[in-house]
Amino acid sequence: MPRLSFSLAAIAAAAAFFGPVTAQSPAWGQGWTGATTCVAGWTCVYSSIQCLQGTTTAATTSTTTTTKTSTTTTSSSKTSSTSTTSKTSTTTATTTGTAVTPIQTLVSGWLWIRAVEAPNFHKYLQSYHSYAPGDAILGDYTTAAQFNIVNGQLEHYLPDGSLLYLQVEQPADSTVVKLKTSFATTPNTFGTFAFSGDAVTWTVSSITRPNNAAWLACTDATEGALLYINLGPYAYNTPAGCADETIH
């Protein structure tokens, strides 16, 4: 199934609403003769090229100190003495890691997905662990991920060309009213995602839902607004701690 295509006007409108990116310069490419120095705290990355925050490699240094103690005893017929000698050695290890910076310009063929109802109005779909497997949450636009639906899978774009997939947990029994979602490196095996207009829907043959576009954002003290599929009616008997949402 081909990826969805969108008009330049629609993309421009989305970009206009999303807002400008602070300190991110216009993309420049081959033949560019202007400045190539980023402002303090930003790094030149050859992806467009443009200035992106936090993509430098950070080094962490740890130091381990080991103390060895030896005791020597000297004795004679009249006297005895004991002396203690300590030797200290220090080992330093350095590890490096690269921070993952959310991409704040739409990649061709990919979309932002966001909620449109209070209290999560215009909060954006993303993994709790940015650009890595983790619970699906609705969060700030500055950390928004990018998505598309292909062959029934809701795919999460990764800069290295690989993908994450939105997973749906299977219900333990028929009394379950919501299904938790998360991102993993393997395709989802329970149900099918689709667009209905611009709304994201989920269906599965074993469950009849009153509204296939109904979602829930349920508050977690650590992770924020966790995203669930609502198996019940929209805006009726909403579970405690949750808010009814649709995502687009």
Sign for the CA dihedral angle at 6, 228, 145, 160 comes to negative
What pLDDT does residue 67 have? 45
- Residue 26 has what pLDDT? 38
Six-digit token pair at 54? 């936090």
Predicted local confidence at residue 41, as pLDDT:
55
The confidence score (pLDDT) of residue 102 equals 77
Task: Tell me the β-bridge partners of 185.
Answer: none
Q: Where are the domains of the chain?
A: 59-93, 124-245
Q: Please report the pLDDT score of residue 57 as a whole number.
A: 37
pTM of the predicted model as reported, rounded to 2 decimal places: 0.62
Q: Collapsing DSSP states into helix, strand and coil, what is residue 17?
A: helix
Q: State the pLDDT at residue 101.
A: 74
In 3D space, the residue among 111, 116, 196 whose CA is nearest the CA of residue 147 turns out to be 111
Element (H, E) at 137: strand 134-139
Residues (pLDDT < 50) of the chain are: 1-33, 36, 43-98
Give CA angle at 23 (17, 26), nearest 5°.
75
Whole-number Cα distances in Å, 158 to 116, 126, 131, 165? 25, 12, 6, 11
